[in-house]
Amino acid sequence: MADADDWTHRSIGQIAAGVQHGEVSAEAVAAAFLRRYEAIEPQVHAFLHLQSARVVEQARAIDAKRVRNEALGPLAGVPIAVKDSLCTIDAPTSCGSRILARDGAVWQPPYDATVVEKLRSADAVLMGKTNLDEFAMGSSTESSASGPTLNPWDLGRVPGGSSGGSAVAVACRMSAGALGSDTGGSIRQPAAFTHTVGLKPTYGRVSRYGLVAYASSLDQVGSFGSDVRGAARILEVIGGHDPRDATSATAPMEKLEAACGRDVRSIRIGVPEEYFGEGLDAAVEQRVRRAIEALRGAGCTVHAVHLPHTRYAIATYYILATAEASSNLARFDGVRFGLRVHPQRGDLEAMYTSTRSTGFGAEVKRRIMLGTYVLSAGYYDAYYLKAQKVRTLLRRDFDEAFRQVDVIAAPASPIPPWKLGEKLDDPLSMYLADIYTLPASLAGLPAISVPCEPTQDGLPVGLQLIAPAFQEARLCAVASAWEAMNPARGLVAPHAHVAAG
């Protein structure tokens, strides 16, 4: 039999089949991934919490089930990393913030998020909790209180965010797949920056029960994989109706993995002019256009479409998301969990203020301030209500475009991964980099980022595909068609190689 280390480079489907058929034990798979973790993690800081003993314990339980001839689930023995904004009953949850830690101990959720419960039911092995921008607010994973995650393609650059730790865990094969959350691009952009696949489902497709809320009208949980099939299988497992989430859709979950490899001839691809204009890096544009041309070669038809309100997406998003955040984060007040800072002579209000001022980092404070401002008396109509109306216009753009095409193709990010620290002193410049992921979020649409060929400097580029609501299967079909033709398929990051022996 091949060396067990090879299993870290197998697909999710291969690992699950190997474990189900007894070709490899879940424990051996877990051990192989843990060896990679030991070797690579010190360079990239993708994880906030990983307990090897707990990983092995889960794997052994799955092996024991197999010995008892119990049927194993679709993620049998597959190591999955989980973004640290999702609640886990057997691991602390920090959201990358100091405010959920007290006396060195991080908040321990008393329950599992629904998506975590579903991973366990599918016999996945939860590797650990991954780094993120504090409360998922950021596009670089630099605002984490534990320090940044580094990009394995260039350790001097950011991995994207906010789900940067999950993207890097998969890019380095420290886990076979991962969960992230995407509010304005937090799965698609880090996937694009790390040469991984990131799938953000339709709003309502996946339960948010147990996801620490950032902006509730936008937050969605989604998946990372090193290929489209892997990301699709994870989403199939975590998707579906959940009575514990009032926004959870009742539409039945489609077969996503089965859609991969499906014939894409005569699928109409829309290319929005507004996503190929000023500010788009030439190398990114060239790689993305090459992918679209390859899809044309595979029988898709390519059409110019217009999404005329795209230029309002950033302003709209940063009003609505920060408004919702200012409300959601009011719960972090030093009363029920995490940090409490109580001044010597102070009342309840002073305790709230001291706790929040000490516990939140700069970006979270900035967004709470912005959100509080746009909701405050005298400004509500001008900012918040106006943004809600423009959100309607952004939705109509997509409704119109999808009358002409089946799927929209565009870059996931206008620029390749930037240097660490480059945008930290200019928050607006970081917000502007979100331009291509925000519109689909505001419209609640499913979207995927799938790797293109890297730039000449070896920096990853992602092709973003956007589909109408609940058409994730179509996304998977088109994404996997390009993936099969991509000359850079399976390319591994230079800092994700482990010396043999």
Partner 1 sequence: MPDAIITPEQVRHVARLARLSLDDDEVARMTKELGAILEYMARLDEADTSDVEPTAQVGTEALALRHDEPRVGLDREVVLGQGPSTSHDGFAVPAFVDE
- Please indicate whether residue 83 is annotated as part of the active site: yes
Q: Is 337 an interacting residue with respect to partner 1 (CB under 8 A)?
A: yes
Q: Is 271 an interacting residue with respect to partner 1 (CB under 8 A)?
A: no
Pick the binder of partner 1 from 64, 67, 155, 393 (CB under 8 A): 393
Residue 441 near residue 187 (C-beta atoms within 8 A): no
Helices (H) and strands (E) in the chain, counts: 16, 13
Sheet holding 47-49, edge to edge: 47-49, 125-130, 79-83, 177-182, 220-225, 197-200, 447-451, 462-466, 407-411, 268-272, 301-305
Q: Is 67 an interacting residue with respect to partner 1 (CB under 8 A)?
A: no
Q: Which of these segments, 2-10, 56-64, 65-73, 384-392, binds partner 1 (CB under 8 A)?
A: 384-392
User: Of 184, 176, 234, 186, which is closest to residue 472 (Cα–Cα)?
Assistant: 234
Q: How many CA atoms lie within 13 A of 327 on its CB side?
A: 11
Q: State the catalytic residue, choosing from 162, 163, 175, 223.
A: 162
Q: Considering beta carbons, is residue 249 or 448 the nearer one to partner 1? A: 249
Q: Considering beta carbons, is residue 258 or 415 the nearer one to partner 1? A: 415
Site string for partner 1, 81-120 (x = CB under 8 A): ---------------------x----xx-xx---------
**Which tokens go with 280?**
């788009």
Pick the binder of partner 1 from 33, 37, 209, 318 (CB under 8 A): 318
Q: Show contacts with partner 1 in window 247-266 (CB under 8 A).
A: 247-250
Q: Considering beta carbons, is residue 87 or 228 the nearer one to partner 1? A: 87
Q: Is 278 an interacting residue with respect to partner 1 (CB under 8 A)?
A: no
List b or e across 348-379, with b for residues whose CB sees 16 or more CB atoms inside 10 angstroms.
eeebbebbbeebbbebbbebbebbbebbeeee
Q: Considering beta carbons, is residue 51 or 376 the nearer one to partner 1? A: 376
Q: State the catalytic residue, choosing from 83, 118, 129, 200.
A: 83
* CA gap 477, 271 in Å, rounded: 17
Angstrom distances, CA of residue 140 to CA of 187, 197, 282, 419: 11, 17, 21, 10
Pick the binder of partner 1 from 22, 156, 293, 376 (CB under 8 A): 376
Q: Is 391 an interacting residue with respect to partner 1 (CB under 8 A)?
A: yes
- Please indicate whether residue 162 is annotated as part of the active site: yes
**Rounded least distance, CB 338 to partner 1, Å:** 8
- Please indicate whether residue 121 is annotated as part of the active site: no
Q: Is 210 an interacting residue with respect to partner 1 (CB under 8 A)?
A: no
Give the angle subtended at the CA of 467 by the CAs of 464 and 470, to the nearest 5°: 130
Pick the binder of partner 1 from 214, 431, 436, 482 (CB under 8 A): 431
Q: Is the dihedral of CA 363, 364, 368, 369 positive or negative?
A: negative
Q: Considering beta carbons, is residue 41 or 363 the nearer one to partner 1? A: 363
Q: State the catalytic residue, choosing from 186, 223, 441, 449.
A: 186
* CA gap 166, 189 in Å, rounded: 12
Catalytic sites, residue numbers? 83, 162, 186
